[in-house]
């Protein structure tokens, strides 16, 4: 089915610039100069960025793009904290009533920041995402559907950009239909390696995930807002033997060959490894999804996928 909404095209990547000793939870953000360095690393290879919140990190990214005239378009995000308990979360999604009330109030402020940044940067921000993985069964920051709809309606009334919500493919199948009707397009996450898929079945599984959502919403544009492969694991959720730079290289190649040909906007997860994520164990898989290490060294996929560009850079 043909959709009227025209989203930009080009290589796209999820960007979160937290380095050693930095984290959004502690509100220790990358500096302007660190973000500028990151954007200069990414610019030869990607033209679309996805940001996860509307914090000072996002403000600095947008400022760096504008100040240095960088050729990026941005999907701007808003991080939504928990608004109710989720007893199905394996790592603890339960909170006191006071904590939930504080989180609800902070979510309302975060939506306000999203609106303000989107309006101030209409030439850079091509879309806005209200929340990230806030409705899936295992989330530790669960937001009920009626509140998600309230947040989306508030944003849609205030900004010109198309509005989406980024979520694992499963909830789109059965519980997000009312929310989907409020959105301009749907954004899907798909991670075969989290579901114990071998590399040779990974792309087929990704396609099944994506196409199941397309079938459920034939009247809505659907993009992939996260897909990637971890390069290390301590066994928590992902078998160690199923992670490596070689496997990441194969999956990203296969993914982009398919999505480029099919014309599916796809944000690769993610630009740089993030040591703040997950448990303190340095081999925690949450820390190892980057196409670059936390020290900004290109992993195999970047050396292979963009060999020609690296050769130009070095000449």
Query: What pTM was estimated for this model as a whole?
Result: 0.95
- Residue located via tokens 């290589």: 11
**Model confidence band, residue 311 (pLDDT cutoffs 50, 70, 90):** very low
Q: How do residues 132-191 score in pLDDT, each as one tens digit?
A: 999 999 999 999 999 999 999 999 999 999 999 999 999 999 999 999 999 999 999 999
121-158 core/surface letters (b: 16 or more CB in 10 A; e: else): beebbbbbbbbbbbbbeebbbbbeeebbbbbbebbbeb
What CATH number matches the domain at 12-314, 2.40.110.10, 1.10.10.10, 3.20.20.80, 3.90.950.10? 3.20.20.80
Alpha-carbon span 203 to 206, nearest angstrom: 5
Dig out the tokens for 168 from the structure: 């694992």
Q: How far apart are CA 182 and CA 265, in angstroms?
A: 20
């Amino acid at each position: 089915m043909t959709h009227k909404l025209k989203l930009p095209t080009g290589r796209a990547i999820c960007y979160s610039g937290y380095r050693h000793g930095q984290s959004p939870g502690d509100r220790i953000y990358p500096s302007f100069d660190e973000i500028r360095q990151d954007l200069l690393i990414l610019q030869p290879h990607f033209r679309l960025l996805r940001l996860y919140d509307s914090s000072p990190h996002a403000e600095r990214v947008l400022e760096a793009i504008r100040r240095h005239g960088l050729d990026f378009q941005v999907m701007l995000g808003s991080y939504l904290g928990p608004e109710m308990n989720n007893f199905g979360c394996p790592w603890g999604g339960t909170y006191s009533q006071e904590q939930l009330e504080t989180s609800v109030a902070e979510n309302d402020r975060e939506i306000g920041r999203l609106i303000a940044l989107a309006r101030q940067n209409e030439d850079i921000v091509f879309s806005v995402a209200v929340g990230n993985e806030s409705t899936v069964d295992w989330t530790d920051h669960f937001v009920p559907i009626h509140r998600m709809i309230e947040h989306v309606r508030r944003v849609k009334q205030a900004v010109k950009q198309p509005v989406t919500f980024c979520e694992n493919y499963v909830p789109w199948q059965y519980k997000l239909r009312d929310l989907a009707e409020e959105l301009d397009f749907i954004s899907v996450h798909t991670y075969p390696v989290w579901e114990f898929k071998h590399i040779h079945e990974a792309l087929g599984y990704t396609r099944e995930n994506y196409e199941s959502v397309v079938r459920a919403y034939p009247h809505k544009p659907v993009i992939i807002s996260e897909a990637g492969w971890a390069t290390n694991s301590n066994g928590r959720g992902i078998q160690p033997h199923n992670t490596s730079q070689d496997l990441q290289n194969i999956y990203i190649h296969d993914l982009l060959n398919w999505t480029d040909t099919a014309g599916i906007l796809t944000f690769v997860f993610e630009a740089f490894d993030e040591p703040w994520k997950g448990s303190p164990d340095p081999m925690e898989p949450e820390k190892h999804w980057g196409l670059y290490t936390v020290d900004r060294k290109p992993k195999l996929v970047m050396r292979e996928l963009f060999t020609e560009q690296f050769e130009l850079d070095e000449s």
